[in-house]
Amino acid sequence: MKTITNISLSITLAVILFSGCAPKGGAGMVGYQSDVKYGDAKAVETVTADFGSTDLQTTAESLTQSLLESRYIAKAPQPPKVRLRAVNNLTYEHIDTKAITDKIRIKLLKSGQVRFLADNANLNQVKDEREFTESATANKENKAMADSDYIITGNVRSIKKANDDVKDVYYNVSLELVSPQSGEILWADEKEIRKVTSKSSVGW
């Protein structure tokens, strides 16, 4: 009888011990009970009025749609070669404008309507592009790399206003499709964003 009791106690202890060691949550989960949780990457984010993930996503979405509808892309006999140039941040806050253009590039590449040439961060003006093309003409390999049908440039601007109760932020992201040969602006569009913050609810 004593042996049975000892065995039962041992089993109970073992169960308690091992269940204590088992990680919370389940297979494939670490830190299940922590405060860190995964959220919807495409959810509307309104934590602050600064330029955020939602603005990045909606701007890229809207401008890509507009560009795909432009006749220079939609009616092109074959996908044109495009080079993304710098989008200037003319606001007072830090905005990673390359994140906007990278997102647009991914969307355009997925569309199959556009081919992209590698960026050249040092060349950020239409004039530079033309000079580069001309200087590379002598070398066939360089010429293939340099001959873009179009370049995409743009600006991000913001206007901020505030009084005792309300803070208003207006963002304007504009993009242009430019012919590097003629310097002609063939397509342009903008995405406007307005964010209003009640001062009582958010400290700033």
Partner 1 sequence: MSPTKNILISLSLSTLLVGFYSGCTSKNIHIIGEKRVEITKHKSIQEGNFLKIMAELENDDYDETEGFVYQIEWYDKNGFIKDTTPWKAITIHKNQKVQIVEMTNIPDIIDYKIIVSVPNK
CA-based nearest residue to 157, from 97, 67, 84? 97
If the CB atoms of residues 41 and 121 are measured against partner 1, the closer one turns out to be: 41
Query: DSSP state, 79?
Result: P
Asked if 48 interacts with partner 1 (CB under 8 A), we say: no
Provide CB contacts within 8 A for 189, sequence distance 6+: 62, 63, 66, 67, 174, 175
CA-based nearest residue to 53, from 111, 96, 4, 107? 96
What tokens does 163 get?
A: 């009084």
Torsion of CA 121, 190, 155, 130, to 10 degrees: 50
Which stretch in 24-32, 62-70, 132-140, 180-188 sits in contact with partner 1 by CB under 8 A?
62-70
- Burial bucket for residue 114 (CB in 10 Å: 0-12, 13-18, 19+): buried
CB of 103 to partner 1, least distance (A): 10
d(CA 204, CA 191) in angstroms, rounded, equals 25
Asked if 58 interacts with partner 1 (CB under 8 A), we say: yes
Which stretch in 51-59, 84-92, 126-134, 176-184 sits in contact with partner 1 by CB under 8 A?
51-59
Binding mask 88-127 vs partner 1 (x if CB under 8 A, - otherwise)? Answer: -------------------xx-xxxx--------------
Asked if 64 interacts with partner 1 (CB under 8 A), we say: yes
CA-based nearest residue to 203, from 53, 91, 49, 93? 49
Binding mask 126-165 vs partner 1 (x if CB under 8 A, - otherwise)? Answer: ----------------------------------------
Binding mask 71-90 vs partner 1 (x if CB under 8 A, - otherwise)? Answer: ---x----------------
List of residues contacting partner 1 (CB under 8 A): 40, 42-44, 46, 54, 57-58, 61, 64-65, 68-69, 74, 107-108, 110-113
